[in-house]
Amino acid sequence: MHAAVHAAPATRLLLSGNEAVARAAWEAGVRVAAAYPGTPSTEILECLAAYPDLHAQWSTNEKVALEVAIGASLAGSRALAAMKHVGVNVASDALMTQTLLGARGGLVLAVADDVGMSSSQNEQDSRFWGRFAHLPVLEPADAEEAYAYTREAFALSERFETPVILRLTTRVCHVKGLVTVGAREAVPARGFERDPARYVMVPAHARRRLPIMLEREARLAEHAEASPLNRLEDGADRRVGFVVSGPAYLAVREAFPEAPVLKLGLSHPLPVGLARRLAEKAERVVVVEETEPLVEQELRAAGLEVTGKAVLPRMGELSADVVGRAVRAWLGEPVEEHARPAPVIFPRPPTMCPACPHLGVFFTLSRLRNVIISGDIGCYTLGAGHPWNALDTTICMGASLSVALGLDKGRGEQDRGRHVVAVIGDSTFLHMGMQGLLDIVYNRGDVTVLILDNRAVGMTGGQDHPGTGRDARGEEAPRVDFAALVRALGVPAERVHEVDPYELPTLFRTLRAEIKRGGPSVIITNRPCVLIDAYRPTPPLRVDEARCTGCGNCLDVGCPAILVTRRERAVKPSGKEVELAFVRIESLACTGCNLCVGTCAPDAIVPMEGRA
C-alpha cells in the first residue's frame, strides 16, 4: 500500500488516486495532516501516516480534522485535511468562516465524493462547497492528475491565501495509474503572526474580510481563464463540443475522441471565456459532469446555449458507454442495442463478518418486543437487514441518540408502551454521539443506549481512534474509558453496564432490565472487531449431524459461516407444518465465538476436533 513512501524522485509508480494525493502532499512539504476515515477517502491519511517527517492524525470527526489543519496553516505550515463528502457537512462550520480568514500556510481540503453510493447514506456533489464558500475547486480525472493537482493546490492556496478544495470521486480515489513522483520540498513553517483583525472573527472583523474574499474570488476567476489546469482541446468532429470536469473527461474522450473539449481541472471559479471559445468551435455544447448540473447552470446563466442533464443521468458515474449512447441518441443518430445483456450476478447482500461482536447485539435486539431502535452509521447499520431487522431509523453520524430522544419526547399514545433504544459504535460515539447522550441526560430522556465498542472504525477497515489505545501510526496512545466518560456525561453509575456481547443471556437480561427501568442508561459491549489484531480467535466449531434437528435457530444469529445444506418440510405433533433447515459450519471462516452454540437446543454445535 505504501510503495510510494520510500520511492526516489523520478520513480514511476502505479498508485491509486489516494496514494498519489498522499505522496504529492508529502512532496509539497505538508507538516500536518488530519482526517476522519470514510470511504472512499480513507487511504489518504493511512498513506500519509507512513511518512515519518510529518504529523498525521485521525481526528474524532471531520470538523476537528479541518480545524487542526487550519491551526497548522495559521502557524505558517502547509496542512491537509481529508474526508468523504458527508464529512464536509460536519466540517462546514469551520470551513465557512475559514474562507474569510483565508490561508497562511498552504491549506488543502481533500474531499472524496462517493458517486454511486457504494458505501454512503447519500450522494452529494462537494463542488457546491466551492460556490458556497467562495473557494477554488480542483478536479483531477485520474491518479496522475490527483498527484499533479495536489501539488498545484498548495501553490494556489499560498498564492491567493485561500483554502483549496481538491474534489475527488471514488473512481479517482481507488483506480490506479502511473505516476512519476518527485522530491519533498523544504517548506519551513513561517510562524504565527498575531493579527486579530484577520484571525478573530467577531462581526466587525468578519465584515471587513468579506470584500477581501470577494476580491480574491475575482482574481481566481481571471486565473482560471489562463490556468493550464483548464485547457481547450481542438477536434475535427465539430457536431458537439464538450465541457467536462473530473473523471468524466476520460469517458468523453473514449466516446468522442475527435470532438473539441474544454477540460476543467480548476472548475471553480468557472472559466466562462474558455467555454465561449469552445462554443465557437462546435455546433452544439454538452456539459458532462458528475453529479449535479453546476457548470451547466453557470454557463446558462452566463448566456451560453448548452445542454447537459437533459441528456445525461443526474446520478451515478458517467462511463463512456453512458455518455456515448446518450449524446448520440440526442443527436438523432442510431444507437445500437447491446449485443449481449449484462450478465445477472447472483445477488449477495452485505452482511456482518463471521463472529462479529455485533451479531449477538442484533440477535438480542431482534427478540425484544415493543421497542423502537434508533441506529447509526457504521457496520452496525447492517442490523437493519435480514435476519435481524433490528433497526428502525438511521440518519447520519451520531444521530441515533438525538433521534432516540426525539422519538421518546414525541411519542403519542399509541407508543406509550414502547421502549426506545439507541445503537452506536465506539468511534461514532466519539465522533458526534457524546453530545446526543448529554442531551438525553440533560432533558431526562427515557432512552437506553448501546455503545458497541469494537475498538476500531470497523466499517472503513479498522482504523484507530481515541478509544483504541493506538494512534494513526499504530503506536500506543491514551485510551478513552467509555464507562467513565458516560458517567461524566451524567448517566448514573448504576445505569452503566459493560457486557460481553458473546454472552447472550447476560446481554438479554441486562438490556431487558434497563429498558424497563426508564430514564437514561448505557450498555457498553466490549469485544474487539474480528478483523483487528486485538481479536483472539478460538478453535472453530462444527455441526454434529446426528444431533441437528433442523430447527434453524442458529441461522437467526446471522453468522455467514453457518450454511444451510438442505431443507425439509415436517409436521409437528400439533399438526403445524414447518420447514427444517439443516446446516454446517464453514470451519475456515469460524473463529469459535460460540454465539451459535447459545442458540442450539440439541447441543449439536460442538468444537472441531484436532483444531487449535
Pick out the residues of the known binding site for [4Fe-4S] cluster.
548, 551, 554, 559, 590, 593, 596, 600
**What distances in angstroms separate CA 225 from CA 20, 221, 272, 306, 379, one per listed residue?**
26, 7, 8, 19, 45
**What distances in angstroms separate CA 461 from CA 22, 190, 269, 382, 456, one per listed residue?**
18, 36, 36, 16, 8
Q: Is 539 helix (H, G, I), strand (E, B) or coil?
A: coil
Q: Is 23 helix (H, G, I), strand (E, B) or coil?
A: helix
The CA R_g of the chain, rounded to the nearest whole Å, is: 28
The span from the CA of 380 to the CA of 363, in Å, is 12
Cβ neighbours of residue 479 closer than 8 Å, sequence gap 6 or more:
466, 467, 468, 469
The span from the CA of 106 to the CA of 152, in Å, is 10
Burial degree of 90 (CB within 10 A; 0-12, 13-18, 19+)? buried
Q: Is 467 helix (H, G, I), strand (E, B) or coil?
A: coil
The span from the CA of 141 to the CA of 173, in Å, is 10
Other Cβ atoms closer than 10 A to 153: 30
Q: How far apart are the first and last CA of the chain?
A: 31
Given a contact cutoff of 8 angstroms between Cβ atoms, the answer to whether 465 and 545 are in contact is: no
Task: Give residue 196's Cα distance to chain centre.
Answer: 36
Query: How does strand 12-16 pair with strand 261-264?
Result: unpaired
The span from the CA of 153 to the CA of 110, in Å, is 10
What does the DSSP assignment read for 212-263? HHHHHHHHHHHHHHH-TTEEEE--S-TTEEEEEETTHHHHHHHH-TTS-EEE
DSSP 385: S
- CB crowding 442-481: b at 16 or more within 10 Å, else e: eeebbbbbbbbbbbbbbbbebbbbbbbebbbeeeebeebe
- What are the binding residues? 548, 551, 554, 559, 590, 593, 596, 600
The span from the CA of 520 to the CA of 421, in Å, is 10
**What distances in angstroms separate CA 303 from CA 218, 310, 537, 539, one per listed residue?**
19, 18, 65, 71
The span from the CA of 62 to the CA of 45, in Å, is 12
**What distances in angstroms separate CA 344 from CA 192, 347, 348, one per listed residue?**
59, 8, 12
Q: Which helix (H) or strand (E) holds 542?
A: strand 541-543
The span from the CA of 543 to the CA of 48, in Å, is 46
Q: Which of 130, 135, 105, 110 is CA-nearest to residue 213?
A: 135
Cβ neighbours of residue 140 closer than 8 Å, sequence gap 6 or more:
17, 146, 148, 149, 166, 168, 172, 246, 265
Q: Is 601 helix (H, G, I), strand (E, B) or coil?
A: coil
